[in-house]
Structure 1
């Protein structure tokens, strides 16, 4: 007779997370990345999204806000 399998929380934990990408506080896209993706890699991937590039084109990025596994927000000059 077999025993019930033991519960392993690591098996039910999500490995990928959806990260919202904002420009000046407005949602402009999303990324699906590994949960432990470092900030530099996440920002790099966000900047590759064509829709995001359109909003950043010709603007200076004054600040980048990164909340791990949640959001990336590019704060730009308005010009």
Structure 2
């Protein structure tokens, strides 16, 4: 870098600025929409759990497949039985 001409150094700096800007934008995007994304994932996980319960899977199997807590699965099962 110390041997770069002024033009080469500016090109090098601009290249990294584009990368930094991209990374900053990407991180900011995910932070801004993280709650919405996580809510959609949670909703989808609960729908999968409901489908597994309807198929007759045990609570333990639903917990293992979805990562939900046993308490959450029990609540979902009771809601489906109403």
Scaled by the length of structure 1, the TM-score of the pair is 0.28
Higher helix share: 2
Larger Rg: 2
Higher strand share: 1
Scaled by the length of structure 2, the TM-score of the pair is 0.27
